[in-house]
Amino acid sequence: MSEDANAPPWAKGLPKPPPWKDAGERTVYENDWLRLTEHDATAPTGAPAVYAVMRPKSLAVGVLPIHEDGTVTLVGQSRFACADFSWEMPEGGAPFDEDPLAGIKRELAEEAGLKAAHWQEALRLQLSNSVTDERGIVWLCWGLSSTPIAPDPTELIVTARTPFLTLLDAIGKGQVQDALTVATALRAYHMAHESLLPGWLAHVMLHRL
């Protein structure tokens, strides 16, 4: 599919500014998880710029697990970069040579001790696309059952189960700020309202317990 064919309805026929130009890159830092590159660039305006890009070595993946009563399982953990404690849906990184769905199934088991019979892709995202080329795919899943939990050696995780609408309330109050979780929950609400999910599942999600 061409880029123009994938444009939103309001963009069709509108002129586009020219793209950024890249005269070459150099790696200024690299580890097992990411690479930081610096570029001699030219902006769409013609202005010269030195641009830095953080390039993860995996795809961001996440899933909102929805139980039969309309509750969802969340995980809480301390995050180093923001120096805070964050409530999130199960998330992780899928190496580029791994099937993304297999990667998030692994993360769901490792972080929440769950497996799911049904999966539906919800969104594809660019995360902070001014400074990183990181991309993500997120799912909804249901038909949940327990499986052995196996967290990463660096993770100390707390799990909680809450009604879906309570999660939306917490997002509105700023109590949940993780971008993938916020985007997925809002998309799940839209999918439930627009009959893009099984009717019984939409009903229990939108029914306030």
Specify the pLDDT at position 2. Answer: 55
| Per-residue pLDDT at 117 | 98
Q: Over the chain (209 residues), what is each successive 10-residue block's mean pLDDT?
A: 75 92 97 97 96 98 98 96 96 97 97 97 97 98 93 88 98 98 98 98 93
Q: What is the pLDDT of residue 195?
A: 97
Q: What is the pLDDT of residue 100?
A: 98
Residue 148 main-chain phi, psi, to 5 deg: -55, 135
Which CATH number is associated with domain 58-206?
3.90.79.10
pLDDT of the residue at 153: 86
* Residue ranges of the chain that CATH labels 3.90.79.10: 58-206
User: Per-residue DSSP letters for 132-194?
Assistant: B--EEEEEEEEEEEE------TT---EEEEEEHHHHHHHHHTTS---HHHHHHHHHHHHHHHT
Residue 151: per-residue pLDDT: 75
